[in-house]
Amino acid sequence: MRTITFALAMVEGCEANPVKTHVALGKYSSTSNGEVFPLKMKSWVSLVGEAPETTILNAKNAAYHVIYCKDVSHLAIEGLRFIYRSYQP
């Protein structure tokens, strides 16, 4: 899969079957691989990167959020580094 957004769209988790979405090492951004921010998290779905030094979410062109977690629960986000700069039109 090329983007985390695509991977998140393909999975559904629940209490009986929580999901860990493993994020391969690399840089994820709108310019490098077409990543779309904010990432819209789901309940019972976690994001696990290889390591913060090697798994980088570059959301410097995002307007407001890198990750959107409204009304979700039972998730974890780990092993990722975030680059974010406020959008300035």
41-53 confidence digits (pLDDT tens): 999 999 999 999 9
Predicted local confidence at residue 77, as pLDDT: 96
Considering the domain boundaries, does residue 1 fall inside one? Answer: no
Predicted local confidence at residue 62, as pLDDT: 75
Sheet of 26-29, strand order: 26-29, 55-58, 81-83
Considering the domain boundaries, does residue 35 fall inside one? Answer: yes
Q: How many domains does the chain have?
A: 1
Considering the domain boundaries, does residue 56 fall inside one? Answer: yes
Distance CA(50)–CA(63), nearest Å, equals 26
Considering the domain boundaries, does residue 3 fall inside one? Answer: no
Distance CA(31)–CA(14), nearest Å, equals 33
42-81 confidence digits (pLDDT tens): 999 999 999 999 999 998 877 678 899 999 999 999 999 9
Considering the domain boundaries, does residue 10 fall inside one? Answer: no
Considering the domain boundaries, does residue 8 fall inside one? Answer: no
Considering the domain boundaries, does residue 62 fall inside one? Answer: yes
